[in-house]
Each structure stands twice: as C-alpha cells, then as structure tokens.
C-alpha cells in the first residue's frame, strides 16, 4: 500500500471530516478545510485574509493558550468549551491544538474543532432538571411529615410553660428548658422551609445583569479582599425581565461557594485566588423541553480546588456540601430561584477551574430590548 503524498497543509486537511484551521505565528489563518468553512460560516479565501482573533472574538483565554503553544510547541486539548464567533453565534466544542512545521522557517498550529452533540447537552440539562424536581418533591413530603410532630412538640412546650407560670411554687429556672424546646423546634422548622426552597413569587422588572454582578462583586470584595474578581461583560446583552433580589441571591450564593473553594485550596507557593464573571448571549437555546430565541449566559469561574467526582452528580441537592462548615443549601436555593425564571444552572469542574453557568431566558417584549439585541 502506497501512502498518499502531501505537499501542503491544505491538501492534508481537505481530506479530514472534522473542522480544521491552520494558523501561523501571528495567529494569521493560513488555511481551513471545508468542514471549518461550514463551522465558521466563512470561505477559505476570505478567512486567509484574517487572523483567528477575527473569527473567534473576545475569547482571551483561547488566544493565550494558542500563543503559549506556539512558544512551547506543546499540543493540548480542551473539552466542552464555548466559543463566540465573528457572526455572534456561540458554539460548544471540543478542540485540539497541535504545533506543526511544514516549512523550515515557520511555526504553525493545527486547530481541530469537534462540535459537542446537541443531544448530549440536552440530556445533561434534562438530568439536572429531573434531579431538581425529584429532590423538591421528596423534600416537600419529608418537610410535611416532620412539621406535624414539630408543631405538636412546640404546642406542648407552650402549654407546659403556661403551667409553670401559673404554679406559684414553680421555679423560673425550669422555664428556660421549655424555651429551649420552643426555640429549637422553630429553628428546625426554618431549616425545613429553607430546604424546600423559597415560596415568594418573583417580582419581575427590567434589570441590568451587569449592575447585579457589580453589586455582588463589591459585597464579596468587602468580605474578602484577598480575592480578585475579574469581569468579562458583553455590553450588548438586553435587560432581563427578572426579580432583582432573587438574581442577587443566586449570584451571591455561587460566588461565596467559589470563595470557599479558593480559600480551602492550599498550594505552595500560595496562588492568587481569582473569580471571573463572564456574560454572553445564546440564540435558539433549549432549556429542558422549552426553546428560547435568546438566553443570557452568566459564567462564574474560579480557580479553586474544584468539585469532587462524588459530589458532581448531586451538587444541587439540599444538604449536599463538600465543606465542613457548609449548610449545603446555597446551590439548591440558587437553582430553585433560577428555575422560577424558567432558567437553569449548569456547572463544569476540574481542579483549578470550576465554571457555574446560569442560563436565563431574555424576553424581548418592548422596542428598547429589541433594539439592544440587534
């Protein structure tokens, strides 16, 4: 069998089924194959007049990795990433970067992109929603069963307290015990209410998600000044029709979890803790069984220790926590609040990189919002 001889990268990549782009040292596009033309919605002729920065926009980490690979000549692969393209469409991809050299005087990178199957993504979202609904149903039944005897215990303690008060020979010191019973039953009832989730109906108005993020950012920095909170905002995102206080609670719960994860990570030398807020829009996004024309995507990324494999499948269930002093209610409550906005919280975690993604539909219901979306 005779191997096919190739004299240029173009002749090689044209025969590949995955989307492949070759770039040079200045990130200039050298060539791309037909599959990449379809992925990026641009012809090879037009693409070669541009840099990769003009095809993939505002993805600074993506560009930094490419530059490091050019310098070090080390290949790498990234799984389940989302890139925003020049025509403002976002794609979910796995991609590999391989340094190549087909000319004596040049360094080049071969980028291979593989679209993540939509069905796989939908299945994951449906699993999260199914888990959420199942846990809520279980907790409602459990809370009802526990509250009944708690009510009886509290009522009996109150009656006993009155008997002690009416008994002339009663020792006031005994009343402290009935008060302990009453206080502890109230505490347990409040804990059950928190586990079941918020009962308030959202009071929705037009809110600016960046104002909410900056508000939470200032709160968290006031609590812990040792952590850097960076912002990567898309200013074109329209206002959300949402309950502002609920969205603040969602962002705050996730951010405080990130702070805890960073604080618990011990490295030598100590590493600077960093949280990044990133906002983007997604079009034609399906959340559960519902499709939405436009969705706001808020990523909260941290460089802490990550979520352990044991916790990843049940992270949004109440009372599940990876920290000794945690209540295990922060993420459960956050998921419940976002669910009331027809949205969803997802996450992706590896050591030193955890990203919680909040998806909230944007309802374009007036001319101002429509204009902002264009």
Assign 3-class secondary structure to the chain: CCCCCCCCHHHHHCCCCCEEEEECCCCEEEEECHHHHHHHCCCHHHHCCCEHHHHECCCHHHHHHHHHHHHHCCCEEEEEEEEEECCCCEEEEEEEEEEECCCCCCCEEEEEEEECCHHHHHHHHHHHHHHHHHHHHHHHHHHHHHHHHHHHHHHHHHHHHHHHHHCCCCCHHHHHHHHHHHHHHHHHHHHHHHHHCCCCCCCCEEECHHHHHHHHHHHHHHHCCCCEEEEECCCCCCCEEECHHHHHHHHHHHHHHHHHHHHCCCCCCCCCCEEEEEEEEEEEEEECCEEEEEEEEEEEEECCCCCCHHHHCCCCCCCCCCCCCCCCCHHHHHHHHHHCCCCEEEEEEECCEEEEEEEEECCCCCHHHHHHHC
pLDDT tens digits, 347-364: 888 878 899 999 999 975
Least confident of 113-117, 130-134, 258-262, 272-276: 130-134
pLDDT > 60? residue 366: no
pLDDT > 90? residue 268: no
Distance CA 353, CA 359 (A): 19
Distance CA 353, CA 370 (A): 35
Distance CA 28, CA 66 (A): 12
Q: What pLDDT shows up at residue 327?
A: 55
Average pLDDT over residues 144-164: 77
Confidence of residue 325 (pLDDT cuts 50, 70, 90): low
pLDDT > 50? residue 87: yes
Distance CA 350, CA 339 (A): 25
Q: How far is CA 141 from CA 144, 192, 316, in A?
A: 5, 11, 18
The fold of 9-116 is Beta-Lactamase (3.30.450)
pLDDT > 50? residue 289: yes
Q: What pLDDT shows up at residue 292?
A: 84
pLDDT > 90? residue 231: yes
User: What percent of the chain is modeled with pLDDT above 90?
Assistant: 30
Average pLDDT over residues 111-131: 67
Distance CA 9, CA 31 (A): 8
Distance CA 204, CA 242 (A): 4
Average pLDDT over residues 272-278: 92
State the pTM of this model: 0.54
Residue 311 has a CB neighbour count (10 Å cut-off) of: 15
Least confident of 7-21, 155-169, 299-313: 7-21
Q: What pLDDT shows up at residue 369?
A: 37
Q: How far apart are the first and last CA of the chain?
A: 56
pLDDT > 90? residue 178: no
Average pLDDT over residues 69-84: 89
Residue 187 has a CB neighbour count (10 Å cut-off) of: 10
Distance CA 236, CA 296 (A): 11
Q: What pLDDT shows up at residue 295?
A: 92
Domain boundaries, given as residue ranges, for the chain: 9-116, 120-196, 205-373
Q: What pLDDT shows up at residue 8?
A: 56
Confidence of residue 5 (pLDDT cuts 50, 70, 90): very low
Q: What pLDDT shows up at residue 368?
A: 37
Confidence of residue 4 (pLDDT cuts 50, 70, 90): very low
- Structurally, what CATH architecture does the domain formed by 205-373 represent? 2-Layer Sandwich (3.30)
Confidence of residue 330 (pLDDT cuts 50, 70, 90): confident
Q: What pLDDT shows up at residue 143?
A: 64
Least confident of 35-49, 56-70, 184-198, 253-267: 184-198
pLDDT > 80? residue 254: yes
């Amino acid at each position: 069998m005779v191997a096919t001889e190739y004299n240029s990268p173009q002749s090689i990549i044209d025969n590949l089924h995955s989307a492949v782009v070759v770039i040079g040292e200045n990130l200039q596009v050298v060539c791309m194959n037909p599959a990449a033309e379809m992925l990026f919605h641009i012809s090879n002729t037009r693409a070669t007049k541009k840099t990769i920065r003009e095809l993939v926009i505002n993805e600074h980490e993506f560009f930094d990795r490419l530059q490091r690979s050019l310098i070090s000549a080390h290949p790498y692969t990234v799984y389940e990433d989302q890139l925003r393209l020049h025509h403002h469409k976002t794609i979910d991809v796995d991609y590999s970067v391989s340094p190549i050299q087909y000319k004596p005087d040049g360094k080049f990178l071969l980028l291979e992109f593989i679209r993540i199957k939509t069905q796989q993504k939908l299945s994951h979202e449906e699993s999260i929603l199914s888990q959420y609904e199942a846990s809520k149903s279980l907790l409602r039944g459990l809370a009802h069963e526990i509250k009944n005897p708690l009510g009886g215990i509290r009522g009996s303690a109150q009656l006993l307290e009155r008997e002690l008060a009416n008994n002339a020979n009663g020792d006031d010191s005994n009343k402290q015990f009935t008060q302990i019973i009453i206080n502890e039953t109230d505490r347990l009832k409040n804990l059950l209410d928190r586990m079941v989730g918020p009962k308030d109906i959202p009071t929705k108005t037009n809110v600016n998600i960046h104002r909410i993020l900056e508000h939470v950012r200032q709160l968290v920095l006031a609590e812990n000044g040792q952590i850097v909170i960076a912002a990567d905002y898309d200013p074109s995102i329209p206002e959300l029709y949402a309950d502002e206080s609920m969205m603040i609670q969602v962002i705050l719960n996730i951010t405080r979890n990130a702070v805890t994860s960073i604080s618990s990570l011990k490295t030598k030398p100590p590493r600077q803790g960093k949280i990044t807020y990133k906002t983007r829009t997604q079009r034609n996004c399906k959340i559960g069984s519902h499709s939405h024309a436009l969705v706001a995507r808020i990523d909260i990324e941290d460089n802490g220790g990550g979520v352990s494999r044991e916790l990843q499948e049940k992270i949004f269930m109440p009372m599940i926590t990876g920290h000794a002093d945690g209540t295990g209610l922060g993420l459960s409550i956050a998921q419940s609040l976002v669910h009331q906005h027809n949205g969803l919280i997802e996450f992706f975690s590896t050591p030193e990189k955890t990203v919680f993604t909040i998806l909230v539909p944007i309802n374009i219901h007036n001319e101002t919002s429509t204009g902002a979306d264009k």
